[in-house]
Amino acid sequence: MPTTMNLKTATILAGAMLSVAGFTQAFAAEAMIPAAISAAVADAVRPPADKERDANRKPAETVAFAGVKPGMIVGELGPGGGYYTRILSKTVGPKGKVYALVSKAQAARPGGLDAINTLAATLGNVTVLTVDYPSLALPEKADLFWTTENYHDYHNGPTANIVGVNKSVFDSLKPGGIFYVEDHSAAKGAGLEATSKVHRMDEDIAKTELTAAGFKLDGEGTILRNPADNKAASNSETGHFVSERFMFRMKRP
């Protein structure tokens, strides 16, 4: 039977082993993030408001999962204020390009292009293009297309054409290129009504639409899952970046 001293020693050793294991896991997770992505997320010029969102958005892990690399040509649908535009720009670096693709409806709003144009002026590899998503065409084929929290919006409005959006992205990618799709998860079986009612996307429908366009599922991320999220509530009620989000890496064969 172990002595009191042995029990204490065993307890200390067990605690130390747990600490080492935890450190090893954290180190392993950190090591999986390419240096270019880590540097882009750590960039001191990123606005404090963007950095405050990082805990929920997990940008380093997300960009790594999508497969963004230096030298890539990226098409970003719906760049908004540029949260990911900055990170994508820094990750692809001076030999890469980011096309920030703003819809004509967004561009028509007063000041709709101000934020992204101001940002592009400070980043030498970002070009802002005003396009109709169902008929977009880039000056060159892209390695990767990117859309975050916007896919459900492409189903809404009088001229919505998700088939056209997915086809234009497919046609604008190089063979082997990736369409990274991330959006707020709707309750399973919610149907397309969720896109306008709670501003979420039924991920089974999204997967069906994307594969119908010719894409093959190349990866499905889980880091933005949140079992506590009420998927029947609007994403704005639950907190825009607290909601559960699905992550698809869809490949053009």
**Which DSSP symbol is given to 110?**
T
Q: Which helix (H) or strand (E) holds 73?
A: strand 73-77
Rg value, the chain, Cα = 21
Please check whether residues 116 and 7 belong to one and the same domain. no
Please check whether residues 26 and 105 belong to one and the same domain. no
Please check whether residues 18 and 77 belong to one and the same domain. no
Which of the four pLDDT bands, split at 50, 70 and 90, describes residue 1?
Answer: very low
Please check whether residues 109 and 17 belong to one and the same domain. no
Higher pLDDT residue, 29 or 173?
A: 173
Please check whether residues 174 and 225 belong to one and the same domain. yes
Please check whether residues 135 and 24 belong to one and the same domain. no
Q: State the residue range of the domain holding 47.
A: 35-251
Please check whether residues 97 and 197 belong to one and the same domain. yes
Helix 83-92 with 114-122: angle, nearest 10 deg? 20
Which of the four pLDDT bands, split at 50, 70 and 90, describes residue 237?
Answer: low
Sign of the Cα pseudo-torsion (214, 219, 225, 227, in order): positive
**Which DSSP symbol is given to 152?**
G
Please check whether residues 25 and 49 belong to one and the same domain. no
Hunting for tokens 């969102």 — which residue is that? 53
Cβ-defined contacts of 206-214 (< 8 Å, 24+): 206/151, 206/181, 206/246, 206/248, 207/248, 209/162, 209/163, 209/166, 210/166, 210/179, 210/181, 210/248, 210/250, 211/250, 212/163, 212/166, 213/163, 213/166, 213/167, 213/169, 213/170, 214/170, 214/252, 214/253
Please check whether residues 41 and 156 belong to one and the same domain. yes
What is the predicted pLDDT for the residue at 12? 45
Please check whether residues 3 and 107 belong to one and the same domain. no
Which of the four pLDDT bands, split at 50, 70 and 90, describes residue 28?
Answer: very low
Higher pLDDT residue, 101 or 241?
A: 101
Which of the four pLDDT bands, split at 50, 70 and 90, describes residue 39?
Answer: very high
Which of the four pLDDT bands, split at 50, 70 and 90, describes residue 241?
Answer: confident
Helix 83-92 with 35-42: angle, nearest 10 deg? 140
Please check whether residues 54 and 19 belong to one and the same domain. no
Q: Is the pLDDT of residue 74 over 70?
A: yes
Please check whether residues 16 and 52 belong to one and the same domain. no
Q: How many domains does the chain have?
A: 2
- Name the average pLDDT for the chain: 89
- The CATH code of the domain that includes 171 is 3.40.50.150
Please state, in angstroms and rounded to a whole number, the distance separating the CA atoms of residues 13 and 18: 9
What is the predicted pLDDT for the residue at 159? 83
pLDDT, mean of residues 25-36: 64
Tokens of 100: 């920030």
Task: Report pTM.
Answer: 0.87
Tokens of 41: 């997320």
